[in-house]
Amino acid sequence: MEITGHTVELLNDPTGIIEGDRYEFFLELDLDEEDELYTEGGVKLRVLFAVQDSREWIANYDFIEAATGKPMGFALEEDEEEAVLEYCRNNKDA
């Protein structure tokens, strides 16, 4: 799995209930055709990235079919989750 691009948006919490900042990332992925996640229409990873004080973490994520927007129900492997976390850290202000 390779991240080839992204869009990111700082989410607004008009209620003020959520402390810190939340970013919604849509990561564009390049997958090998033999990967179980592969679909012809492409796959994106939607990530809710949270920042509070000096702490940064992935609050939630979903693999989604790029063509339909449907969630796929797969989980990241531990090394993939670390790579996604690092990517979000480096690109939240881009």
Q: What is the pTM of this model?
A: 0.89
pLDDT in 10s for each residue of the chain, 94 residues: 899 999 999 998 878 777 889 999 999 998 888 888 888 888 999 999 999 999 999 999 999 999 899 999 899 999 999 999 999 999 998 6
Q: Are strands 21-30 and 55-65 parallel, antiparallel or unpaired?
A: unpaired
Instruction: Return phi, psi of residue 47, to 5°.
Output: -125, 130
CA distance 81 to 11: 21
Which two three-digit tokens encode residue 41?
């229409």
- CA torsion 4-74-64-20 (nearest 10°) is -80
* Other Cβ atoms within 10 Å of 62 Cβ, number: 15
